[in-house]
Structure 1
Amino acid sequence: MASWLPETLFEIVGQGPAPSKDYYQLLITRTQIIFRWWKISLRSEYRSAKPGETKESHEDFLDNSHLQVQVAVVFGTKILDYVFNLCEGKFDYLERLSDRLLLKIICYLDLEDIASLSQTSSKFEKLCKSDLLWEQIVQSTCDTITPDMRALAKNMGWRQMFLTNNIQLQRQTRKKKQRQENQAEKLA
């Protein structure tokens, strides 16, 4: 497993399905699965129940159908699938990069690709709609950014300014010109 991964790969907490009031925690570390539960009940027979904990290695979890069923019942099948992927070493490294680095990468994408990326996860939706990204895109598109442009962007947001301004047209024109120059160089 990559050493730059954090010790805790995933953690989720929640209440069991109704009518249960029990509380659960699922913690995935680099080496093990930890499933904890707390019985919450008004019944006298459960009042003295102590919290429980099960620890399994990733390999043992993949073979433990009872624990898998518990995870699916409490947290759902999507979480169970995600845990399977983590146990099998299938990590989403892109999701683990810092927002700052992701913004630098995203600003090199075409607008259509940014729109598609924003639909892949809530994290990427937030990043693709962030003012920081659109400020970088505007700065890479414009030769100069005037104080008036900054004031306008502060009021309406960089994304809105980009999408409603001629900047987009300028960017497309510049890309088209670059493509034509590249094709001319290839033919020469």
Structure 2
Amino acid sequence: MASWLPEILFETVGQGPAPSKDYYQLLVTRAQVIFRWWKISLRSEFRSAKPGETKETHEDFLENAHLQVQVALIFGARTLDYVFSLCEGKFDFLERLSDNLLLSIILYLDLEDVARLSQTSRRFAKLCASEVLWEQIVLSACDTITPDMRALAEDMGWRQMFFTNKLQLQRKLRKRKQRQGNPGERVL
């Protein structure tokens, strides 16, 4: 399974806590944790400071409390926990799947499960609310989609169309047709 992993497992950049303007990069590869920093200061004693870098194996990082504290201060405890997991060999393969593949998988779920999945992470919330997913859900639920219905869905959104009842959809389609027939006339 590890051979399926890319060389770079995780990368993030950030600025040190205020009032620092220092810039940091954290890179986790298959074999190392690389921590880089650039001192940014107007003070003359730091102007000639060169960028620095620390490279640790995963095992050494797990034992280096000083580096762990720096990572937590700059990038936060969640990032530190995630790097710990990577260093311990705990990879989230689901997170590494492409959006298109995940959308294909989500299409097999019941609507209740889609709602629950959307609450698990920002990425799944975005995927579960995507127009691509809801268009496929509507297409699988309906026998036929007329060009007028497709145009209405693109205006109001596929998800909204799915949850709108049939009478409201018929009313909206009728109004849309009337507007197209008389563009200057307002329909109530």
Aligned to 2:123: 123
3-state SS of 2:113 partner: helix
Distance 2:42 2:148 in 1: 64
In the alignment, what sits opposite 1:136? 136
Structure 1 residue 59, shift from structure 2 partner:
1.0
Structure 1 residue ranges without an equivalent (≥5) = 167-188
- 1-side partners of 2:60 and 2:138: how far apart? 51
TM-score normalised over the length of structure 2: 0.85
Cα distance, 1:30 vs structure 2: 1.2
Partner of 1:12: 12
Partner of 2:77: 77
Write the distance in 2 (CA, Å) between the matches of 1:141 and 1:121.
27
Q: How many residues align?
A: 166
Partner of 1:162: 162
Q: Which residue is equivalent to 2:35?
A: 35
CA distance in 2 between partners of 1:29 and 1:38 (Å) = 20
Gaps of 5+ in 2: 167-188
| 1:68 equivalent in structure 2 | 68
Measure the CA separation in 1 of the matches of 2:93 and 2:159: 27
Equivalent position amino acid for 1:39 in 2: K
List 4+ stretches of structure 1 deviating above 4 A.
Answer: none
Aligned to 1:26: 26
Equivalent residues in 2 for 1:99-114, closer than 5 Å: 99-114=99-114
RMSD of aligned residue pairs (Cα, Å):
1.1
Once residues 138 and 104 of structure 1 are traced to their aligned partners in structure 2, the CA distance between those partners, rounded to angstroms, is 14
Query: What is the alpha-carbon distance in structure 2 between the residues aligned to residue 6 and residue 148 of structure 1?
Result: 45
Q: Deviations over 1:54-101 (max 9, x none)?
A: 011111111111110110111111110010011111111111111111
Show the counterpart of 2:170. none
Q: Deviations over 1:104-150 (max 9, x none)?
A: 11111111211111111111111100010001111111122222221
Any idea what SS the aligned residue of 1:13 has? strand
Structure 2: how far apart are the matches of 1:155 and 1:79?
A: 39
Distance 2:136 2:17 in 1: 45
Per-residue deviation at 1:165? 3.3
Residue 80 and residue 51 in structure 1: after superposition, are their counterparts in 2 closer, same or farther (change >3 A)? same
What secondary structure, in the 3-state scheme, does the structure 2 residue paired with 1:26 have? strand
